[in-house]
């Protein structure tokens, strides 16, 4: 249990640092960040990514769920985000939407690997995934 807590807290601080350094303003920047995440971070301002729609919109949640099931669940996160090495998304309340967006966009590397999806999905598509993950947190 001790190990796991340490893991979570180091993650949280990672997100905090990453967030303050994150720039997101449209697809061009998104592409640049996806292909060279380190440089993008260095060049980043304090701007934070914001969804262009309400994350509680049931249609967006449904859309995110569909994409999650077709892509994220297979091999990695499992149905309803209950697989994977990350803490369960279901019932999880300590994952801010911005942090979820950042991780999907840039991926992450530690003892495990999540590839970056910033080039694969549009900003709205990533926010829809975030909307679904946020919804899972309430389940």
Partner 1 sequence: MNPIRKQFRPALMASAIAAASMMSLFSAPAAAQSGPGFEDPNNWPQYHRTSNAWRFSPLNQVNRDNVKKLKVAWIHQPGTITHGLQATPIVIDGVMYSISANNNVWAIDAATGKTLWQYAPKLDKIVEQVFYGAASRGVTVGRGKVFVGTLDGRFIALDQKTGKEVWSTQLTNPKTQYGALFSAPPQLAGDVLFGGTTGGDQPISGKIYAVNADTGKPVWTFDVIKNDPKSWPGESGKVGGGSAWMPGTYDAKSDTIYIGTSNAAPDYYNYDRKGDNLYTATLLALDPKTGKVKWHRQEVPNDSWDYDSAYEALVVQKDGKDVIVHLNKGGFVFVMDKKDGKLENVWQFAENVNWVKGIDPKTGALIDPVYPEVDKTKTFCPNLLGTRSWNHGAYNPGTGLWYSHAMEVCNEVVAGKDDPDNLKSVSSLSLGIESIKLVAPPGSKPHGRLDARDPITGKRKWSIKYDLPPLSSVLTTAGGLVFTGDMEGKIYGYDADTGKELWSFNAGSGLRGGPVSYSVKGKQYIVFPTGLGSHAPGFLAGAFPQIKDLPGGAAMIAFTLE
Task: Give me the residues that bind partner 1 (CB under 8 A), please.
Answer: 1, 3-4, 34-37, 66-67, 69-71, 73-76, 78-79, 82-88, 107, 109-113, 115-117, 119-122, 125
Question: Among residues 21 and 108, whose Cβ is nearest to partner 1?
Answer: 108
For 24: left if phi > 0, alpha if psi spans -120 to 50, otherwise beta; the answer is: beta
Closer by beta carbon to partner 1, 3 or else 52: 3
Query: CA nearest 27: which of 123, 139, 128?
Result: 123
What is the nearest approach in angstroms of partner 1 to the Cβ of residue 37?
A: 7
Q: Which SS3 state, helix, strand or coil, does residue 114 take?
A: strand
CB of 83 to partner 1, least distance (A): 3
Q: Which of 50, 55, 79 is nearest to 135 (CA)?
A: 55
Angle, vertex CA 113, rays to CA 104 and CA 65, nearest 5: 35
Indicate the residue among 46 and 70 with the shorter CB distance to partner 1. 70
CB of 18 to partner 1, least distance (A): 15
Angle between helices 97-106 and 2-20 (to 10 degrees): 80
Taking the least distance from each CB to partner 1, the nearer of 37 and 96 is 37
Compute the least distance from the CB of residue 4 to partner 1, in Å: 5
């Amino acid at each position: 249990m001790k190990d796991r807590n340490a893991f979570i807290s180091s993650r949280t601080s990672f997100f905090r640092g990453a967030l303050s350094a994150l720039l997101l303003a449209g697809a061009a920047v998104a592409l640049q960040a996806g292909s060279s995440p380190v440089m993008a971070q260095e060049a980043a301002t304090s701007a934070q990514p914001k969804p262009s729609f309400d994350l509680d919109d049931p249609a967006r949640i449904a859309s995110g769920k569909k994409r999650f099931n077709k892509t994220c669940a297979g091999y990695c996160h499992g149905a309803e985000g209950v697989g994977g090495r990350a803490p369960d998304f279901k019932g999880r309340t300590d994952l801010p939407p911005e942090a979820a967006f950042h991780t999907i966009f840039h991926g992450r590397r530690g003892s495990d690997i999540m590839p970056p999806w910033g080039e694969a999905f549009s900003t709205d598509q990533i926010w829809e995934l975030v909307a679904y993950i946020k919804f899972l947190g309430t389940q």
